[in-house]
Amino acid sequence: MNDCKSDTDVYTSEALASQEKFERELENHAEVRKALREARSKPGSEENGRVVAEAKLAAVETELAGCESLFNEEKKMLSENVEELEKVVSEKEKECNLLHEQYQNLAAASERSEYENPGPFIKPDNSMWMFYRDVILAELQLDPTCSDESIGVQQCTSLTSKCDQDNNLVFKHTGEDPFVF
């Protein structure tokens, strides 16, 4: 009986050891299956990540294309504005040159008077009256007078022609103000 008992103990211990081994194998198998599931799901998550990244890239490319289109439109519009402004500047330069030429003509016309301090008055027909300050001739002076200055006018047929040399008196007496013009 002792032999039987010892055999039973051996079988029991071997059965327990086998069961522990089986349970360890089951746990190992479960861990391997879990790792396998994770390994299989990883490419899927990487694939999902790639799909998401590609979608974001496509959105950025679309936005960039829109920005590029907007940039090109603004560039074209600014180029057109620059062309228009260059035309305006060119026209203004021509206008400035014309005004400068007219000024030169007026300056030349004012030099055509022999009298002191000429002041031009340009009429619509481009003829001109040249007002000037002068000394009153002795025969025209008023008695008593406090000033011997007068205001006269000359007529010019154009801005560049010489004015008539007549002494056309407008005012015989200008008062004491030396800054009539």
The predicted pLDDT at position 110 comes to 53
Measured torsion, CA atoms of residues 72, 78, 80, 83, in degrees rounded to the nearest 10: -140
Spatial distance between the Cα atoms of 41 and 34, rounded to a whole number of angstroms: 10
Assigned token pair, 172: 């015989």
By the 8 A CB rule, do 99 and 136 touch? no
The structure's pTM equals 0.33
The one-digit pLDDT tens for each residue of the chain (181 residues) are 666 767 677 778 887 888 888 888 888 888 888 887 777 766 666 667 778 888 888 888 888 888 898 999 999 999 999 999 999 999 999 999 999 888 887 766 555 555 555 677 788 888 888 777 776 655 555 555 556 677 788 888 887 777 777 767 777 665 555 554 4
Sheet containing 116-122, strands listed edge to edge, beginning at the edge strand earlier in sequence = 116-122, 128-135, 149-156, 168-171
Interval 158-171: pLDDT, tens: 877 777 777 677 77
